[in-house]
Amino acid sequence: MTDARCRNPWFMIAMLGACSAGSVSAFAQSSPTGPQSASAACPENDSGLKLPVGFCATIFADGIGHARHLVVAANGVVYVNTWSGRYYGNDTPHAGGFLVALQDTNGAGKADVIQRFGETVQSGGAGGTGIGLYEGGLFAEINDKIVRYPLTAGSIVPEGPAAPIVTGLPLSGDHPMRPFVIDRDGSLYVDLATATNACQAQNRTTHSPGIEPCTELNTRGGIWRYNANMGNQVFSPAERFATGIRNAEGFAIDAADHIFVTQHGRDQLHANWPERYKPEEEATQPAEELLLLRRGGDYGWPECYYDAIQGKLVLAPEYGGDGGKEVGRCATKIAPIAAFPAHWAPNAMALYDKSQFPAHYRNGVFIAFHGSWDRAPYPQGGYNVVFQGLAGDQASGPCEIFADGFAGAVESPGQAAHRPSGVAVGPDGSLYVSDDVRGRIYRIVYQGGPGAEGSAATPTPCPSATAPAGIVSVDDAKPPEGNHPDAGSAAAIASLAVPVGATKEMVALGDQIYHGQVGGAPCTGCHGPNATGTPLGPDLTGSHWLWGDGSYAAIAKIIATGVAQPKQYRSPMPPMGGAQLTSDQVWALAAYIWGLSHQESRSEIAARRN
């Protein structure tokens, strides 16, 4: 396979980029509708998004399943890959195929044609993340493979069966998604993200050392390259293109052949190494990254992470690091070209090479940040789409918040209304953003003036990657469903039942520990601010227990020892959540959680009193 790639950006089609007219020309020319007009009205600006002046958004589609990455064909049809499984609490997947075709036939900015196709639950499918267009075919990740569906004239969905392109991709561990990008000559670059957080002997466990050497890198933690023009390829270590990348979900290719990828930085520096990192450093380190991909490049994982404050790669504690001072072997690794606030989770990226938006945005990238969990107990961040300017193969200035408000009132994994998961540019220059909470697709257009001459409004800068963690956040503004209407108030805490052997004062202290006000425990990051659960951890307010029998002693034991191998969730819980709690604090936290699981509704209380 040749390394030379065509320098025409029209052909650099992928799951996150603009569509190529050349790649799907036969399909586009016979399609019943053409691309959306850049001047189309925004009849229902119902998105709830905060955008720069001159931009408006519509809800293009809603409720289509856990929408991940998307791509837009030359005729304006939007293709979306949806997912299922433990990332979404093993909820019931949307009926029909996991792939979705969306079409707006009347120019209203909303899809009036929605067709599902591809693998279903009944056929053994679980959906996926990656999706792309290349040479008349739709490529999609499904389970452990990437397949190609032929697109035919007169239909927006494939009529023939899928042909396997690559099979046997590894799926185990923390990051089973397989995003990809395809360039003009058919090089298929696949992200094989890591199975672990930091290649520890015991994943996400306090003081567990790093495996030396990290054998996981033989099959994970990098970018693999295959040939999109060839079928029935089988995964092997031999096709590794670059290494040391923990989780690169976003790809973009520019006109000069530069390949950019995003990287999710590692988690749990303070949780796993509390004597080396302050509690607030759990929220502020390490930075998320934008990388310039190079063949044979080593970007440092797991031995290194990017310290946003120092602006350099430093040695990870699992490999002898001393809390951010020592560089060691990291001096030979490749640093990012841009850094973003810690744990924001860059899930997708798209190069903007169209003319609808003002010239300010030309040839920069839009990045969809899924939103953090590991900043708890401090305020979470992300849940937005940012713009990062580029100048050649480098970043040009800091990033800007482009679209915000997806999460709604609360930015947290368990309570966010919507979370950006994919971003793509349409042939008319419109920007599409997917949400994997409720399956919403947004369409963003510019109406402030001609893109070639218009200039961007005063941008809203991203928070600096060096910004402090903020104050400990306790969200009690709205009660959780099924809880007391005055949940979170002093009265509600006082009304919690008290287990035998504990006191009301212990329950109140446990509430403070749970919410990070005492002891530095990040409980809310996985179980939510109201303990009703998130995709990362179970509901603690009910009577169903995954471990133990729900007794006071059993809860205390689980807190103290952690959960090394969760039954239904993807990541272990370290002992005491990674905090350094005293024995009294462990019992107080257990008393609070026991109380949460023994609440009575107001009607039950009234009935008992009567």
Given a contact cutoff of 8 angstroms between Cβ atoms, the answer to whether 116 and 97 are in contact is yes
Q: At 166, which helix (H) or strand (E)?
A: strand 163-167
Angle at the Cα of 357 (from 351 to 358), degrees rounded to 5? 110
The answer to whether residue 473 sits within a structural domain is no
Residue 440's identity, in one-letter code, is R
> Dihedral, CA atoms, 269, 274, 276, 279, nearest 10 degrees?
70
Strand partners, 369: 346, 384
- What pLDDT is attached to residue 46? 82
- What pLDDT is attached to residue 491? 62
- What pLDDT is attached to residue 13? 34
The answer to whether residue 106 sits within a structural domain is yes
- What pLDDT is attached to residue 457? 66
Residue 462's identity, in one-letter code, is C
Last residue of a domain, one of 461, 479, 505: 461
- What pLDDT is attached to residue 581? 87
pTM over 0.75: yes
Q: 256 with 388, same domain? A: yes
Q: 557 with 450, same domain? A: no
Q: 453 with 498, same domain? A: no
Q: Which residues of the chain have pLDDT under 50?
A: 1-41, 451-452, 475-489, 601-610
The answer to whether residue 484 sits within a structural domain is no
Contacts of 104 (CB under 8 A, 6+ apart): 33, 36, 60, 76, 110, 111, 112, 113
Q: 377 with 521, same domain? A: no
Contacts of 474 (CB under 8 A, 6+ apart): 377, 488, 515, 516, 517, 529
Q: At 593, which helix (H) or strand (E)?
A: helix 583-596
Q: 194 with 341, same domain? A: yes
- What pLDDT is attached to residue 600? 58
Q: 349 with 206, same domain? A: yes
Distances (CA, A) of 154 to 26, 32, 33, 60, 162: 10, 7, 10, 22, 18
> Dihedral, CA atoms, 15, 18, 20, 26, nearest 10 degrees?
80
Given a contact cutoff of 8 angstroms between Cβ atoms, the answer to whether 218 and 195 are in contact is no
**CATH number reported for the structural domain that contains residue 527 in this entry:** 1.10.760.10
**Total count of domains within the chain:** 2
The answer to whether residue 48 sits within a structural domain is yes
Contacts of 123 (CB under 8 A, 6+ apart): none
**CATH number reported for the structural domain that contains residue 134 in this entry:** 2.120.10.30
Q: 456 with 496, same domain? A: no
The answer to whether residue 481 sits within a structural domain is no
- What is the C-alpha separation between 328 and 331, in angstroms, rounded? 6
pLDDT per position as a tens digit, 524-579: 878 887 888 887 788 898 878 887 888 999 999 999 988 887 877 777 788 888 77
- For residue 563, the number of C-alpha atoms closer than 13 Å in the C-beta half-sphere is 22
Q: 450 with 505, same domain? A: no
Q: 531 with 436, same domain? A: no
Q: Which two tokens stand for residue 242?
A: 């670059």
Q: Which domain holds residue 373?
A: 11-461
Q: 496 with 394, same domain? A: no
* H-only helix segments in 273-379: 281-284
The answer to whether residue 590 sits within a structural domain is yes
Q: 420 with 532, same domain? A: no
The answer to whether residue 477 sits within a structural domain is no
Per-residue exposure over 8-17, b if at least 16 CB sit within 10 Å of its own CB, e if not: ebbbbbbbbb
The answer to whether residue 440 sits within a structural domain is yes
Q: 345 with 295, same domain? A: yes
